[in-house]
Amino acid sequence: MEAKWESERVRELVPSATIDLGDRIKRLRASGHDVLNLISGAPEFDTPTEIKREAHAAIDEDYRYMTYSLSAGLEDLRRVIADKLRGENGIDADPEHLIVTVGTKEGIALATQACLDPGDEVLLLTPGWVTYDALVRLAGAEPVSVPLRTGGGPMLTGDDLAARITSRTRAILLNTPHNPTGRVLGEAELDVIAGAARRHDLLVLADETLEYLVYTNARHRSIATLPGMAERTLTFNGFSKAFSMAGWRVGYVHGTPPLVANMLKVHQHLVTCANVVAQRAATVALGAPEGGGTGIRAGIRAGLGERRDLVAHALDAIPGIRCPVPEAGLFCFPDIAGTGMDDREFADFCLDEARVAVLPGSAFGAGGEDHVRIAFGRRSTVALREGVERIRAALAARAEAAGRGEPRAAH
């Protein structure tokens, strides 16, 4: 049935690939199928005890945490975030130039609504998180794909950006460490982006959500610290990944006073403020009282690093699949072209034949073709081993059937 009242911007919006596949998983499970879900973008670890204890204390304490905070967020939390940005990232942060948001996603939505006009163009490095494209479109702007380069060299060159910048280009949306590839953009790529932003007077939206989940010697650097970039960069981060707080919905954005003031107007009308109990708990995650912070996230990173190695090596051992070990993040992004299937066929095959849910790379935009995204943040390493083994066994059965001249299984 057609919606009687439907805006054009929503009519043209593509549903979230993650949520759509999640619905398919629920239907299969409801029919009695045992489906292993390897699509989740959040680690399945418990939120650390110190953080939960602080939330309980806030609930038990008094009225302050049962009502609204300042719309920009609790002063204590914004002070801790500013200290973190100065000490760890080298950003000259001020608590008054911060907004605590309902996850990183809301922060980016505030920026697109407050900084873009209909017809503006935003450069998106692809493949990239599926929601970036949608948030740009909801603001009436146009996403322009800049496919990242594969292989061991730089992921991005000046020519890649120059070929897509027009008189309508307004901003570049940058994500490092990168979802879904697991790469950390290095000095060369950041210099390319910063140079283009300065030359063409562009705003940079820098999503650094996966900053703490770097497993190698690769160095994460905030682009706001490069010359001439502080005044044209909005830096986004949050607590969902590194602190296992996805459901708590706490993120933050830092930028110049004029940009943040405009975003705050949108934030006030959309949500008033982020959940106040969750805000207080987040102060412990960054190490305010009780010496939290570093120790909390180190334990989570170590557990995820073990799972990364397990999944990447097991996938790379399967004929037809090439899986480099990701430098960072929560996902492997293997090349599956050697299986003879494209990424959507492969994802359907995994779900239908192996009962394992993975995401097709093309859902993340240009450059994702012939890849799939496989999440390794499962609580159980046994489930991860079983998931990869199911894929291996299904592919082996497919190859055996093909060798006998049998028709391939229907997808």
- The structure tokens 């993975």 sit at 358
Structure tokens at 353: 């034949």
Strand pairing of 121-126 and 169-175?
parallel
Shared domain for 137 and 286, answered yes or no, is yes
Cis preceding linkage at 289, omega within 30? no
Shared domain for 192 and 270, answered yes or no, is yes
pLDDT digits (tens, 9 = 90+) for 91-145: 999 999 999 999 999 999 999 999 999 999 999 999 999 999 999 999 999 999 9
Distance CA(88)–CA(140), nearest Å, equals 35
Structural domain includes residue 389: yes
How many domains are there within the chain? 2
Structural domain includes residue 222: yes
If one compares 169 and 405, the residue with the highest pLDDT of the two is: 169
Whichever domain contains 282, its CATH number is 3.40.640.10
Residue 102 — φ and ψ, nearest 5°? -85, 75
Give the pLDDT confidence score for residue 98 in this predicted structure: 98
Shared domain for 361 and 215, answered yes or no, is no
Residue 364 CB neighbour total at 10 angstroms: 25
Q: How confident is the model at residue 26 (pLDDT cuts 50, 70, 90)?
A: confident
Give the pLDDT confidence score for residue 406 in this predicted structure: 57
pLDDT, averaged across the chain: 91
pLDDT-above-70 percentage for the chain: 95
Per-residue pLDDT averaged across 65-72, rounded?
93
Structural domain includes residue 309: yes
Shared domain for 281 and 301, answered yes or no, is no
Shared domain for 327 and 313, answered yes or no, is yes
Asked if the model's pLDDT at residue 289 lies above 60, the reply is no
Asked if the model's pLDDT at residue 394 lies above 70, the reply is yes
Q: Are 56 and 280 in contact (CB under 8 A)?
A: no
Prediction pTM value: 0.92
Shared domain for 241 and 370, answered yes or no, is no
Structure tokens at 168: 């309508």
Burial environment of residue 319 by CB neighbours within 10 A (0 to 12, 13 to 18, 19 or more): exposed
Distance CA(36)–CA(326), nearest Å, equals 21
Per-residue pLDDT averaged across 29-34, rounded?
83
Shared domain for 26 and 144, answered yes or no, is no
Shared domain for 220 and 360, answered yes or no, is no
Q: How confident is the model at residue 149 (pLDDT cuts 50, 70, 90)?
A: confident
Handedness of CA 125, 128, 130, 132 (dihedral sign): negative
Shared domain for 184 and 330, answered yes or no, is no
Q: How confident is the model at residue 2 (pLDDT cuts 50, 70, 90)?
A: low
For residue 328, the enclosing domain spans: 8-46+295-399
Distance CA(243)–CA(292), nearest Å, equals 11
Per-residue pLDDT averaged across 281-289, rounded?
79
Structure tokens at 5: 């009242």
If one compares 287 and 76, the residue with the highest pLDDT of the two is: 76
Asked if the model's pLDDT at residue 405 lies above 70, the reply is no
Question: What three-state secondary structure class fits 192?
Answer: helix
Whichever domain contains 384, its CATH number is 3.90.1150.10
Give the pLDDT confidence score for residue 25 in this predicted structure: 81
Structural domain includes residue 156: yes
Shared domain for 240 and 303, answered yes or no, is no
pLDDT digits (tens, 9 = 90+) for 325-383: 999 999 999 999 999 999 999 999 999 999 999 999 999 999 999 999 999 999 999 99
Q: How confident is the model at residue 3 (pLDDT cuts 50, 70, 90)?
A: low
Structural domain includes residue 325: yes
- Work out the end-to-end distance of the chain between its first and last CA atoms, rounded to an integer number of angstroms: 28
Asked if the model's pLDDT at residue 89 lies above 80, the reply is yes
